[in-house]
Structure 1
Amino acid sequence: MKKIVFLLLAVLCVSFLSGCEDKNKEGGKTAEKRKAEGVTGDALVISTLGDASGLIYNITSDSASHEVSQYIYNGLVKFDKNLNIIGDLAESWEISDDSKTITFKLKKDVKWHDGEPFTADDVEFTYKFMIDNSTPTSYDADFRLVTGFQVIDPYTVRISYAEPFAPALLSWSMAVIPKHLLEGKEAAKSSLMRSPVGTGMYRFKEWKSGESITLEANEDYFDGRPNLDRLIFRIIPDLNTTFMELLNGSVDIMGLTPTQWVKQTDTALFTNSYDKYTYLAPSYAYIGYNMKNPLFEDKRIRQALTYATPKQEIIDGILFGEGVPAHGPYKPGTLWYNDNVKKYEYSPEKAKQLLAEAGWADSDGDGILDKDGKQFSFTLMTNQGNSVRTKIAETVQQNWSKIGIKVEIRVLEWASFINEYIDKGKFDAVVMGWNIVQDPDPYDVWHSSKCGPKMLNFICYSNPEVDQLIDDGRHTMNPQERKKYYDRFQEILAEDQPYTFLYVPNALVALSKRFREVAPAPAGITYNLEEWYVPAGEQKYRFEK
């Protein structure tokens, strides 16, 4: 399910091609293989910096919530290891010749975690839930383009659009939620936010707020029981503490900091127990500016801040070279990436020139620019537990001070940072990161209609030409024609600089050697988590059946 938000690359089947149908049966073969091997047991202990805000996937947007809930729910489609779209709850699908209708055939052997059968009524309920104005979701836009939803029979649904919609197939990777438990209820206040019921390979077991969330294997999973008995998400809001827990054996997998990767993993204690995996991550780091703050209204100010940001110094000094400069919201080397956009090489002098053109000068000689009697000063926020982001904030604070800008750094606990500041638009500028979505459609993050509480365009960027390009790109089926819209979109972002795009990092993963069948692929390292197992003689945790 993993809305196939927050990961990335070009998948032609997403293009809503006529007659595209899932013929992949690997899921059943994998289930048979796992059953034949009979190696079940143990747990994977995963570290996460922050606690989840809730476990109904469709109405949460924070990574901590999605990291857990992705294993609880399924969508109609999902990715295979090579980022091809295959069926999940859908057995197959057909797309009409005019690319305006998808007919899904659903799997018939699926049950909710409470034993109730999954049917087309649940898919219809999920669709209506997503377009209900009272549903607090950031992911409604794709579903509002549906013009007709028909339940043909208990295991067939037909979905119609007024015009071809490029991300249509992929949009049905959204989690399907249980009608029998949520109908007539306010989802955000439902008990399912804390005790969810899905169809996924793992079912909810326990949530100790601020400590851990535990999932247990779904014995009745339609694609075969996963080998590992439990997934335990430990909430550890500091990466240095997490690394110590890793070395102590209390955590099995974590994303290492560049310092840990380069300087702290060459010991026998580490190499005897852990493997390291690295690849260019489908993500980017950035500094985002609140476009409702008058300080940032003039694009020359934002351009100046980017010119005064030493991206390569950040990559070399903070990441130890484990990344490449970012110039926009797409991953280098992919179809959608435009390498010809304006790039901002480090130039404090150019920054000073732009600030002067915008009317800022140090009129009183105190080293801080001022205009109309007000100093150029603001607060730069980021979240606790991420030393890389804190170091980035400190680096830009020092560099921006050299061009006359005073910056205060504020580091906040994750839940407070998101719920009280980001979601409410109560910030000046932030150091954050995005995972890069599989489909190139940037609607949720960059379209002006997605500015608002709990929306993903939380900086409230607005450009009419960008809105039109995004709208046109969504309704263009040919990938090369579609790319033209996104190339122009990236050119405008490069000119407007609503973000200072910093870098695309290398993923730096440490994983306990006791886990087998780990096979990193374009879809990531955990795409086949259901196949992971620990030999009986190496299992660490035992649970009562």
Structure 2
Amino acid sequence: MRTGLVPAALGLLFLGGCGNLSDEPPLDSASPPAYDDSFIESSIGDASYLNPVLSSDSASGSVNGAVFNGLVKYDENIHITGDLAERWEVSQGGRVITFHLRKGVLWHDGAPFTAEDVLYTYERLKDPDVKTPHSSNFDKVLKVEAPDAWTVKVTYSEPYVPALESWGMGIVPKHVFGGAKGKDFNEHPANKSPVGTGPYRFKEWKVDEKIVLEANPDCFEGRPHIKRYIFRVIPDNSVEFLELRNKSIDTMLLTPDQYRAYGEFFEGYKRYRLPRGAYTYFAFNLGRPLFRGRNVRLALAHAVNKAELVDAVVMGLGRSASGPFLPLSWAYDPSVKDFEYDPALAVKLLAQEGWKDSDGDGILDKDGKPFAFTVVTNQGNKMRSLSAEIIQQQLKKIGVRMDIRVIEWSAFIKNFVDKKNFDALILGWTISPDPDQYSIWHSSQKKEGQYNFVGYGNPEVDRILEDGRREFDPQKRKRLYQKMHRIVHDDLPYIFLYYPDYLPVVHRRVEGIQMAPLSTFGFGWNFDKWFVREKNVRYPVRTAQ
């Protein structure tokens, strides 16, 4: 649950376990914290790369966040603080950052962490043959130097606002990779058996089953209390919920219907409701002829009833979305008027593009071809699957046939998203506190494995993203991103669906949880400080599976 840079506290609703606890043994509150319990977290999909330079999915990010450290990270108040760097100075008008690294930090294999590892990580991020989605965060870097083993000097071509945040990227060990470059780095065995500096060491990975980490007793941040951290892959949300009810896992994300039914089904857990730094979207592959014309996308936007989605999918635990920024963000433009649900207008717009039901079969056609496409989404996410089913019925009303394909997570990312092998998809983004979304929306970010997989390009948005990275005046920057909100909303590369609340549960024996809400990352930001008292240990390491 721990990641490099984590969003932080902007409001929290905590609800203690709502069931009848009479069948649960009372928890001890006096014994000291133990060092031998295990914590089992479920994941709907397996990781792809246990390497922060290469990974782009949330499953990989969760594991990498426990194994690796960046130079900096966010604290619970959304302030950047030191991680592998204990301090830094910014000079030359924001063009130079000098990081002073912590001394005595060890990689999990006992080798010392030094500035050479930072240089190596940067070189791989800028290596054109390395499949990283993060290279654009370092486009303005002119050079990275290591005056000595404990100092890193980064020089930028111009002042760059997200510069400090970008160094939350996990640092990888040069000696483990043997200086590998390009394809050799992409395919290195260490991507499946990582060595980091973080609070947890890699133990084993059984593909599509589980990843096991163990506490790092030599961690510079202090020895974690939870001895073993197990990520279980449970691709079906219903099975995941059953495992929770059987107390076979310690935490999961509830769907809204599970959250609403909480008190009726199980006991022994604490649940939380937090504002979530994320949104769910219905995106079009703009490289497909069917979706190149804005009028077609506009018609579909008028055919999607977001109010129905919020009621049926989010169940009021969230709100409809209008763009790429969160309502709590200063970059959000509240004046953006979303597209109204208007099926009649949708039919009219499609008719203008030549789509009519010429054969009376209920499906629009043009030049002898039906208006039909397939939307893909990932297995295990009940909310996305339900959203697809509801949208399918909404589009059917205007004569559009949308088929649904649900795909296992890692195959979904590698074979469909990364390769742009889709007509449309339903997915979500978790957003950083800083509104810079260059990697998602800039037209230069369309290569395989990068985040602009829909193929969006707008020169004005490109300019805004570039200007936003060098504009330090908060009000000017706000105006830039609010303008981008309006443009991206109107261009319709996505139909932005909803901002869901974040609904995690944790076994009640776990203490030390400090919330830094607003995102998936905010929950568990201090996981290395969570603990279980000796008399409450549930899965001692000697018997943990």
Q: Same fold (TM over 0.5)?
A: yes
Task: Work out whether residues 146 and 159 of structure 1, in 8 Å CA contact, stay in contact via their aligned partners in 2.
Answer: yes
Does 2:292 correspond to 1:297? Answer: yes
Supply the distance in 1 between the matched residues of 2:197 and 2:474 (Cα, whole angstroms).
33
Alignment-derived partner of residue 524 in structure 2: 526
Supply the distance in 1 between the matched residues of 2:53 and 2:201 (Cα, whole angstroms).
17
Does 2:308 correspond to 1:336? Answer: no
Match for residue 169 of structure 1 among 141, 145, 164:
164
Paired residues, number: 516
Does 2:356 correspond to 1:358? Answer: no
Q: Deviations over 1:83-141 (max 9, x none)?
A: 11000000101111511110111000200000000011111111111111111101011
Supply the distance in 2 between the matched residues of 1:94 and 1:383 (Cα, whole angstroms).
43
Task: Work out whether residues 382 and 411 of structure 1, in 8 Å CA contact, stay in contact via their aligned partners in 2.
Answer: yes
- Deviation (angstroms), 1:544: 4.9
Supply the distance in 2 between the matched residues of 1:175 and 1:114 (Cα, whole angstroms).
17
Question: What does 1:274-293 align with in structure 2 at a 5 Å threshold?
Answer: 274-293=269-288
Opposite residue 116 of structure 1, the aligned amino acid is A
Supply the distance in 2 between the matched residues of 1:531 and 1:137 (Cα, whole angstroms).
31
Match for residue 127 of structure 2 among 117, 122, 132:
132
Does 2:432 correspond to 1:437? Answer: yes
Question: What does 1:386-425 align with in structure 2 at a 5 Å threshold?
Answer: 386-425=381-420
Task: Work out whether residues 9 and 335 of structure 1, in 8 Å CA contact, stay in contact via their aligned partners in 2.
Answer: no
Question: What does 1:78-477 align with in structure 2 at a 5 Å threshold?
Answer: 78-185=73-180, 186-263=184-261, 265-267=262-264, 270-271=266-267, 273-477=268-472
Task: Work out whether residues 468 and 480 of structure 2, in 8 Å CA contact, stay in contact via their aligned partners in 1.
Answer: yes
Report the more deviating stretch, 39-48 or 74-83.
39-48
Supply the distance in 1 between the matched residues of 2:471 and 2:381 (Cα, whole angstroms).
39
Task: Work out whether residues 9 and 439 of structure 1, in 8 Å CA contact, stay in contact via their aligned partners in 2.
Answer: no
- Deviation (angstroms), 1:489: 0.9
- Deviation (angstroms), 1:432: 0.8
- Deviation (angstroms), 1:430: 0.6
Alignment-derived partner of residue 32 in structure 1: none
- Deviation (angstroms), 1:270: 2.1
Q: Deviations over 1:452-493 (max 9, x none)?
A: 211111111111111111111111111211111111111111
Question: What does 1:482-497 align with in structure 2 at a 5 Å threshold?
Answer: 482-497=477-492
- Per the alignment, in what secondary structure is the counterpart of residue 394 of structure 2? helix
Q: Per the alignment, do residues 8 and 459 of structure 1 end up closer, same or farther by CA in structure 2, a change over 3 Å counting?
A: farther
- Deviation (angstroms), 1:352: 1.6
Alignment-derived partner of residue 23 in structure 1: none
Opposite residue 169 of structure 1, the aligned amino acid is L
TM-score by length of 1: 0.92
CA-based RMSD? 1.7
Alignment-derived partner of residue 14 in structure 1: none
Does 2:39 correspond to 1:41? Answer: no
Task: Work out whether residues 2 and 174 of structure 1, in 8 Å CA contact, stay in contact via their aligned partners in 2.
Answer: no
Identity of aligned residues (%): 44
- Deviation (angstroms), 1:330: 1.0
Does 2:3 correspond to 1:2? Answer: yes
Task: Work out whether residues 115 and 146 of structure 2, in 8 Å CA contact, stay in contact via their aligned partners in 1.
Answer: yes
Task: Work out whether residues 99 and 164 of structure 1, in 8 Å CA contact, stay in contact via their aligned partners in 2.
Answer: yes
Task: Work out whether residues 9 and 334 of structure 1, in 8 Å CA contact, stay in contact via their aligned partners in 2.
Answer: no
- Deviation (angstroms), 1:321: 1.0
Supply the distance in 2 between the matched residues of 1:37 and 1:148 (Cα, whole angstroms).
49
Alignment-derived partner of residue 72 in structure 2: 77
Structure 2 gaps of 5+ residues are 11-30
Q: Deviations over 1:494-528 (max 9, x none)?
A: 11111010000011111100000112223622011
- Per the alignment, in what secondary structure is the counterpart of residue 122 of structure 2? helix
Structure 1 gaps of 5+ residues are 11-35
Report the more deviating stretch, 324-333 or 355-364.
355-364
- Deviation (angstroms), 1:76: 0.3
Opposite residue 433 of structure 1, the aligned amino acid is G
Alignment-derived partner of residue 15 in structure 1: none
Opposite residue 531 of structure 1, the aligned amino acid is K
Alignment-derived partner of residue 55 in structure 1: 50
